[in-house]
Structure 1
Amino acid sequence: MKVLFVAGYVSDKKLIPFSKIITGYGYMVKDIAVAVRGNGVEVDVFTQKCFTSGGYITGIRILPRSWGLLFRYLKTNDIVNGLKAAGKVDGVKHKLKQILYYLSLGYFRRIVYKGNYDVIHFHGITWDLKPLIDFCDELDTNYVVTLHGLNSFDEGVKIADDLRLLERDFLTQSYLKNKKVTCISTGVRDRVLQHLNCDKSTDNFNVVLNGTHDVSGLQSRIEVRKLYSIPEDSFVFCCVGNISARKNQIQLVRAYRLLPQEWKRKVYILFLGNDKSGSQIINEIGSFGDHLILCGDVKRSDVHSYYSQSNFNILASISEGFGLSIIEGFMHGLPTLCFNDIDIIPDIYCDKVMLPINERTDQALMDGVINMTKRSWDRVSIKKYAQQFSLQSTSLKYINLYKELYNRQI
């Protein structure tokens, strides 16, 4: 079987330009592609937001994308449709991007016609992918779209009104046309079905949970506590993710400030990720910088060291379609502290591996931090629990879906 992955981008430190776009989405798309290939499927990847000369990442082929290729296969009608699409969005920069996305359509047609793919797997529904999905509809080819979260229903996600309408219209049309859509958590699927006012028995919206790597056998390359002068008897919370309003790390800072002095001395929080807050979190941390530590963009190969030498994982996101750091923490035997209203809770909750917070207040978050340190957690049991969220399991579910789509058409 041969599958074409289509995404805005993937993340990989070894391949330019993907080394400059490091996000959970980018890593997840790449990881799924690699895992699917590992189960005997040939995988090509086309990225719509990056110009690249192409190459290979762990056996998956990244297709090239350049101005030359775009203009070689460009059709006049694509330019016209791009101009029409640009008229529906605001901002000069956004309009120019719209035109560019349609300029890619001729080259994408060439890829699909020549590639002889059994299934096309889109990752997300955004303006850059819409013209490509529309083409697959016209061609009536097999495709599936994975929603790596929902943008138009989350107050914590700041998006333009046109993108909000795009996502909602896509969901409606997918339901009416009975197109296959996967959601990365039950919470995401439930919100989709609620929006569409349709029964939960509908089978064109399926849940395929994200997965993560098995870390058994990995060795720590960094002595984290020594690096940051953290006493061995302290409680270390690991918070992974680019610092932003949606990830809500700033509330962790406020909650830390409320801790009784005894816990302030004992608790350290390590923030792993680029600061997208405009230094707002630095100003908020202030004099607590020796206990609230901004570690910056940690290499993916080194994140293991941080998880393995921490006591707890913590996630304070306002909204989260999945929350990859939760299962990454589980793989390292770390219990997670998070709010109880994120989408993944129905799929992942077990009182032996996590402590959900029922209220989104600073006080409740502070209490959660203290309660995590008071409970006894079994890291071995947490690691065993984590095995159900492996990339192997995720890839097999996608492959079964590909086979279903293929058999439906023949």
Structure 2
Amino acid sequence: MKILHCINNPHIGGIERLVIELAIEQKSKGLDVSIMLDTTKGQYYDYLEKQGIPILISGLKGGYDINYTTYQNLKSDFGNFAIVHLHNFSLARCFATLMATSKVVYTMHGLSKGVRQENKVKMFFRESIKKWLLNKVDVLVANSKYTLDLAKQHYKIRSSNSMVILNGIKLPSDVKNKKINEEQLFSIGLVSRFTNRKKIDRLVIAFKKFLEKGGKGKLTLVGDGDTFNQIKDLAISLKLEESVEMVGYQSDVQNYYNMFDVCVFPSQAEPFGLVAVEAYLHGIPVIAFEDSGGLREVVAPLEPENIVKNLEELAERLLFCSINPRYIMDNKRQRIEYAQKNFSVQRMEREYHTVYKSLV
């Protein structure tokens, strides 16, 4: 059974890392797996190349590239695979998969509508074609119930086979045991891209309220993006320069996770929430908002008390964690085991393998 995963590029992002690690796991299980990229530019390309997984180049110049020669080449390439597994949308790729003889699996990692500002005509055109495509693929997979429910509503999914397969990640070989240090300042952490949907302003404002309630601690923000300067200005305006550290993008965030006592991910309408899984793998409690979408599905089964409705509740929850260090340490092993059992790349590979076998 030959499988081809299609992604845009090998950047270090949520989708790209997920697909590459899935392909590596599939290869280790003896599957004949390849990856198709639109470009080799990206931080993960060298890592991917070392895995011995065949890499194909699509020739696409963007999601709206409809060059006929490229389309024909794609259709020819896809014909060599039993399963073509799509992870994002492009016009030529869409038509080529449906005209080829391969079975098509499409994983929806989130809805693009409303995520960024774009031309309304262009968006209408894309969403109309995407609606047609998603009702034609053999299996539609979503990374959370939240994402699948949105897709069914927005794209009016009827005829496609649809299901949820939760994301999985490569598990660390070991987890460092963090010891309680009563003299250490309570550490609140965030690892995130800085975009509007991440709602990092909610965390900064709630942290201010936490301090006003008598809480003592520091907030460390790891990441970069469009709203970085906006969040920096907010921290300055709230006079939090001494207690909020913004360290920017970091290629290795393990040392930061080992430093944090609690992680807060204030996102709204998040498709999944891989960062919450990473925090749990370090034994760290995670706090999220009720409107966080798929992120809530990761946190609520384990720590329903850490789902908050508003800034006031977030500040109160941070205060509770800061004065109850045993809550953090006593449940550390439970968090790690929860993440290992439910969100490993091995579990994800098994579930996708079942889908593939049902098609061929």
**Which residue number corresponds to residue 146 of structure 1?**
107
- Give the C-alpha shift of residue 210 in structure 1: 0.5
On the 8 A contact 1:182/1:205 being kept in 2, the answer is yes
- Give the C-alpha shift of residue 317 in structure 1: 0.9
**Which residue number corresponds to residue 30 of structure 2?**
40
Distance 1:311 1:278 in 2: 23
Q: Which residue identity does 2:24 align to in structure 1?
A: V
On the 8 A contact 2:136/2:160 being kept in 1, the answer is no
Residues 1:60 and 2:58 aligned together = no
Distance change in 2, residues 1:319/1:254 (3 Å): same
Classify the secondary structure of the residue corresponding to 2:225: coil
**Which residue number corresponds to residue 223 of structure 2?**
273
Residues 1:363 and 2:312 aligned together = yes
Residues 1:243 and 2:194 aligned together = yes
**Which residue number corresponds to residue 405 of structure 1?**
359
Q: TM-score, normalised by structure 1?
A: 0.75
Distance change in 2, residues 1:218/1:348 (3 Å): closer
Residues 1:131 and 2:92 aligned together = yes
Residues 1:305 and 2:255 aligned together = yes
Cα RMSD for the two superposed structures: 3.2
Distance change in 2, residues 1:381/1:267 (3 Å): same
- Give the C-alpha shift of residue 50 in structure 1: 4.7
Question: Which residue of 255, 258, 265 maps to 1:315?
Answer: 265
Residues 1:122 and 2:86 aligned together = yes
**Which residue number corresponds to residue 381 of structure 1?**
334
Q: Deviations over 1:364-407 (max 9, x none)?
A: 4323322443552410111111122111101111111111122x
Distance change in 2, residues 1:163/1:379 (3 Å): farther
Distance 1:358 1:151 in 2: 25
Distance 1:337 1:219 in 2: 21
**Which residue number corresponds to residue 109 of structure 1?**
75
Distance change in 2, residues 1:130/1:373 (3 Å): farther
Q: Deviations over 1:111-142 (max 9, x none)?
A: 334xx2120111022xxx22112111122421
Distance 1:326 1:365 in 2: 16
Q: Which residue identity does 1:323 align to in structure 2?
A: G
Q: Deviations over 1:292-344 (max 9, x none)?
A: 11121112xx3222112211111011221001101111111111101122332
Residues 1:186 and 2:145 aligned together = yes
Q: Which runs of 5+ in 2 are unaligned?
A: none
Residues 1:290 and 2:242 aligned together = yes
Residues 1:326 and 2:282 aligned together = no
- Give the C-alpha shift of residue 167 in structure 1: 5.7
Distance change in 2, residues 1:123/1:197 (3 Å): closer
Classify the secondary structure of the residue corresponding to 1:104: helix
- Give the C-alpha shift of residue 38 in structure 1: 2.3
Classify the secondary structure of the residue corresponding to 2:348: helix
Q: Which runs of 5+ in 1 are unaligned?
A: 12-21, 71-81, 83-93, 224-229
On the 8 A contact 1:335/1:354 being kept in 2, the answer is no
Distance 2:214 2:138 in 1: 52
**Which residue number corresponds to residue 74 of structure 1?**
none
Distance change in 2, residues 1:218/1:372 (3 Å): closer
Q: Which residue identity does 1:173 align to in structure 2?
A: W
Distance 1:140 1:247 in 2: 40
- Give the C-alpha shift of residue 215 in structure 1: 2.0
Distance 1:171 1:112 in 2: 19
**Which residue number corresponds to residue 76 of structure 1?**
none
Question: Which residue of 188, 200, 205 maps to 2:162?
Answer: 205
Distance 2:129 2:299 in 1: 28
Q: Which residue identity does 2:49 align to in structure 1?
A: Y
| Matched residue count | 347
Q: Deviations over 1:250-277 (max 9, x none)?
A: 221122222244645x222221112322
On the 8 A contact 1:355/1:372 being kept in 2, the answer is no
Residues 1:391 and 2:345 aligned together = yes
Q: Which residue identity does 1:186 align to in structure 2?
A: K
Classify the secondary structure of the residue corresponding to 2:196: coil
Q: TM-score, normalised by structure 2?
A: 0.84
Distance 2:205 2:68 in 1: 45
Residues 1:257 and 2:208 aligned together = yes
Task: Percent identity, please.
Answer: 21
**Which residue number corresponds to residue 285 of structure 2?**
335
